Amino acid sequence: MGPVALRPRPRRHWRPRPGAPPAGAGWTSLEESYERCRRLARAHGRTYYLATRLLPRLKRHHVHAIYGFCRYADDIVDDLGPAPVSERRAALAAFGDRFFADLEAGRSEDPVLKAVVHTAAAFSLDASCFQRFLASMAMDLSVSRYETFADLCVYMDGSAAVIGEMVLPILEPVSAQAAGAARHLGVAFQLTNFIRDVGEDLDRERVYLPQEDIRRFGAEPALAQRRVTPQWVDLLSFEIERARSYYSSADRGIPGLPPASARCVSGARVLYSRILDRVEARGYDVFSGRAQVGGLTKAAVAASLALGGWAGPAQAASDGVPRAAGPLSKDAPSRPAPSRRAARWRTAAGTTGNSMP
């Protein structure tokens, strides 16, 4: 399919005013609301935040607003201290009611939602995207295990894929191929989080790795005891391969983005996928600490991309720094070569481990 015109009509973008006067007591200006979202992104989503620095200034703050909305809702679910589930559920519902009322009105006085409503209106974002996201956040209040990968995909549609849908209009794609790729990149990020955060999620009495996978690899004792065993290594090898297959699929959409947007997405993609490399380097130990990409590597990737480098997997060297090269071929394989352990199980089970549309 050839390129199609997906660029939105020209819009008047908000630009922070240097030296803008402070807002009065009890009132938040639009500038302050966007700044609050930016600070949330910088504090809690450092990899994403660094990638957004590669965007033009007139787009950057809109991505921060989407992050601010997601973080706001996530904090209600996970960071209300000892509040019972009933209070969290009520708080999340109240947040959603307030947001959708503000969205319909076209304005908000909430310190975070003011920027979110402005961004949603500027890019005509579908309200159903926000509804799907909040529905998945509500699932975290009642669902702590997912039997199959298909079950997990229902959750990830709202927690991950839909975020790609919300951000995509801001990036202004020039190819229809970018839509599916945006969803798959969101899923790849989410699967990476699930793998990295197994220990933290256990502290919250949640397990996002599919139960059928845990049983097939015989990894129940390892998970219960928080201990790395051969069975645990086999399980995580399989889950890592699955995540990498989504990154590979998402790569096909990057050439359909304008150069600045492509650099931003490439930066987030190569840095976040490096977390999987760090999990492997730690011997698949996701219980005793968090696998992280170092600050020097992040800075090197951002600098290379800013100078015109490409962050596709074929150009990312072992140090994680992308090498300058042309865009990935559209004929690139959608799945990486399976690991030896995962391949053995896939042959026996007759599954590819990838069923998300």
Q: What is the pLDDT of residues 171-222, one digit of tens each?
A: 999 988 899 999 999 999 999 999 999 999 999 999 999 999 999 999 999 9
Q: What pLDDT does residue 167 have?
A: 96
Q: HSE, CB side, 13 Å, CA atoms: give it for residue 90.
A: 5
- pTM reported for the whole predicted model: 0.79
- Do 325 and 224 sit in the same domain of this protein? yes
Residue 322 — φ and ψ, nearest 5°? -70, 145
- Is 129 a domain residue? yes
3-state secondary structure of 322: strand
Q: Does residue 168 carry a pLDDT above 70? A: yes
Domain containing 69: what range? 28-142
- Is 5 a domain residue? no
- Residue pLDDT, tens place only, 52-64: 888 988 899 999 9
- Do 241 and 257 sit in the same domain of this protein? yes
Strand locations in 188-273, DSSP E? Answer: none
Enumerate residues 6+ apart whose C-beta is below 8 A from 83: 91
- Do 136 and 151 sit in the same domain of this protein? no
Contact 77, 92 (CB under 8 A): yes
- Give CA–CA dist 167/23, Å, rounded: 29
What average pLDDT does this structure show over 304-323? 47
- Give CA–CA dist 320/293, Å, rounded: 9
Strand locations in 3-71, DSSP E? Answer: none
- Do 223 and 117 sit in the same domain of this protein? no
Contact 336, 284 (CB under 8 A): no
Residue 77: Cβ within 10 Å count: 20
Domain count of the fold of the chain = 2
- Is 125 a domain residue? yes
CATH number reported for the structural domain that contains residue 339 in this entry: 1.10.600.10
- Residue pLDDT, tens place only, 103-161: 999 999 999 999 999 999 999 999 999 999 999 999 999 999 999 999 999 999 999 99
Q: HSE, CB side, 13 Å, CA atoms: give it for residue 310.
A: 14
- Is 10 a domain residue? no
Tokens of 24: 């009065």
- Do 129 and 162 sit in the same domain of this protein? no
3-state secondary structure of 336: coil
Long-range Cβ contacts of 137-144 (<8 Å, 24+ apart): 137/73, 137/74, 137/76, 137/77, 137/92, 138/89, 138/92, 140/77, 140/78, 140/206, 141/77, 141/85, 141/88, 141/89, 141/92, 142/85, 144/205, 144/206, 144/207
- Do 340 and 317 sit in the same domain of this protein? yes
- Do 100 and 158 sit in the same domain of this protein? no
Tell me which of 337 and 180 has the higher pLDDT.
180
Among candidate residues 142, 162, 192, the one where a domain is terminated = 142
C-alpha triplet 134, 136, 138: angle, nearest 5°: 70
- Do 238 and 270 sit in the same domain of this protein? yes
Closest CA to 140 of 190, 204, 210, 194: 204
Tokens of 51: 């990638």
- Do 192 and 232 sit in the same domain of this protein? yes
- Do 225 and 182 sit in the same domain of this protein? yes
- Do 54 and 198 sit in the same domain of this protein? no
Among candidate residues 99, 115, 142, the one where a domain is terminated = 142
Among candidate residues 106, 122, 142, the one where a domain is terminated = 142
- Residue pLDDT, tens place only, 247-299: 999 999 999 999 999 989 998 999 999 999 999 999 999 999 998 877 777 66
CA distances from 122 to 12, 130, 169 (A): 8, 15, 10
- Do 260 and 114 sit in the same domain of this protein? no
